[in-house]
Chain A
Amino acid sequence: MRYLKLYSTYAKLSLMSKLVYKVNAIIGVIAFLFTEATSLLTLYILVSSVPSIDGYSIYHIGFLFGLTNMAVGIDHLLTDRLWTVAYFEVKLGKLDHMFLRPLPVLFQVIASEVQLEALGELIIAAALLILCGSQLTFTGGVGAVLLVILGIICAAVIITSFKIMVASLAFKFKRSGPLLQFIYGFSGYTKYPMKIYPKIIQAILTFVIPLGLCLYYPFENLFAPMENAPLIALAMVGFTAVFSAICIFVWNKLVKMYESTGT
């Protein structure tokens, strides 16, 4: 409860900081909106030239794209400072003050930045889910919708956990931004149905980086309800918990290697 209250205070200050530079904040949101729209347009041009991909219509692809973007957008909105930690802040010794406060350093890193630019991503994601969803026939009920919501949350937690782990490598190597950029690109794989990938990629996305498990299976369940849906829900939560525990463990180990800078 204390951490929730603190989070809201930190978030309020972050928003206040952003709104000091109003024009910058607005341009940021619009820029992301355009980036996402362009990426979507490219996808549309590619997919619309074929009637279907492995049985999926353009609306299926758009809907899955929306689900992935929703998870990516939530992570982007709430944990964006991990990027600056990975790229600059460890190298420049900018985290000193976080080690002086009676709070976990990781909590402070995450709570201290709310990234308004992510609204661009989330708006596109919501538009896709509504527009493509209206063209599709769902056979799953309320349970299937809840599974999708759970999947989005778990996927966002997985993306954040991955960022935490890779960003923490900066404590050892001073900079891990380029590696983070590279690995972050994996989230793009879940924008398309997993069935179109080779078995090895499907296995990685299910068991190693369980993004596919959290986004693709709930997506399938909307159209063809699975008997083992509760088991999938359990697996999603379990894999996400284990995965994030491992990532936080790595952070906690590596954060001790922080060296600050000379004064």
Chain B
Amino acid sequence: MSIINVKDLSKTFKKPVREEGLRGMVKALFSRKYDEVRAVDGISFDIEEGEIVGYIGANGAGKSTTIKMMCGILHPTGGSVTVGGLDFEKNRQKINKQMGVVFGQKTQLWWDIPLIETFKILKSIYEVSDEDYEERFNYLCDLLDMRPFLTQTVRSLSLGQRMRADFAAALIHSPKIVYLDEPTIGLDVLVKDKIRGAIKELNKKYNITVILTTHDMKDIEELCNRIIIIDKGKILYDGSLANIKYRFGNTKTVFIPSNVSLDEGELKERFGSIELEDQGERWALKFSQSDVDLDDMLLYLINTYHIKDFKIEDISIEDITKQLYEKH
């Protein structure tokens, strides 16, 4: 059953046209010229209950603007968002009770007081019964290992502790939907794993619907069964992760130092469809694993050029969106 329905959603921001410098700023005071920036441009999709959806795109693609409209922070310029059949115009508070939101770059916790107090006030705000609160609070404390810092003030927490606390705060009222806007940004591997593990467990145990924006491909791979890719406010792809991986996920890039004198002709002759790029301090060798065997190529590079230092990267979300955009 569809729990979120997004239909022809768009958001336009009006920005005053300003020339550069102080003179430009002064002129803009007397000008009525505006540029219209269409951050989200008529997108539509449905999200089913219990889905974990990765909402991805490059910086400035319109991800956060969409999420902010989906959780009621921004009012759409056009189109609609309904949650469980309700719209924000008349039912914002009802919808808010059903959802939890984590912004990786903005905390929702009370900054100057012990963390435990934030949970107490959230209990009152969301009208959680004593029994439900105890059960949920203890469960989240154990799941996210929060007990050691419950009595510390929020400002004294490390980023990892704060993110775990923000995550728990978004879930204390047992929401049906959780929006996670870059929840693992800036976190170390251990905390990332803990957050991902918690998302998986909550989805499995409570059938929570999760909408996740991230730049971390591992978040997507570990959590999402569906992804929506957005660029310049439009949806470029909406489908399974398996499909997009099939189309792009096999692309790898091997970086080697620029002091190695590569023979481009020979490399192309040997490995076929390989792209070679001189990036100044390093060479980037881009290829699809369907055409080139990674082990073969590394062996060849080590034996032929005696390289001692190299780095392998998967295709980035930015590259996928770029390639998708070029195809459209």
Question: Which residues in A have some Cβ–Cβ distance to B below 8 Å?
Answer: 2, 5-6, 9-10, 13, 16-17, 20-21, 93, 96-97, 99-104, 256-260, 262-263
Contact = CB atoms under 8 A, between A and B. Distances in A.
A21 B117 CA distance: 17
A5 B124 contact: yes
Given A100-B71, A258-B73, 16 more contacts: A10-B121, A13-B110, A17-B112, A20-B113, A20-B153, A96-B68, A96-B73, A100-B101, A100-B108, A102-B93, A102-B94, A258-B74, A259-B74, A260-B68, A262-B64, A263-B103
A13 B108 CA distance: 14
Contact of A259 (B13, B72, B99): B13
Contacts of B99: 100
Interface residues of B, number: 34
Interface in B182-230: 182
B75 A256 contact: yes
Interface in B138-186: 153, 181-182
A263 B64 CA distance: 7
23 contacts: A9-B121, A13-B110, A13-B121, A20-B112, A20-B153, A21-B112, A93-B106, A96-B68, A97-B106, A99-B71, A99-B72, A99-B73, A100-B99, A101-B96, A102-B92, A102-B93, A102-B96, A102-B97, A104-B93, A256-B75, A257-B75, A259-B13, A260-B73
Nearest to A263: B64
A9 B71 CA distance: 25
Contacts of B182: 263
A256 B112 CA distance: 29
A58 B38 CA distance: 62
Contacts of A257: 75
Interface string B107-118: 010111100010
B100 to A, nearest CB: 8
Contact of A103 (B68, B73, B125): B125
A5 B127 CA distance: 11
A103 B124 contact: no
Nearest to B60: A262
Nearest to B125: A101
B72 A100 contact: yes
A96 B94 contact: no
Nearest to B185: A263
Contacts of B13: 259
B126 A102 contact: yes
B105 interface: yes
B8 to A, nearest CB: 19
Contacts of A258: 73-75
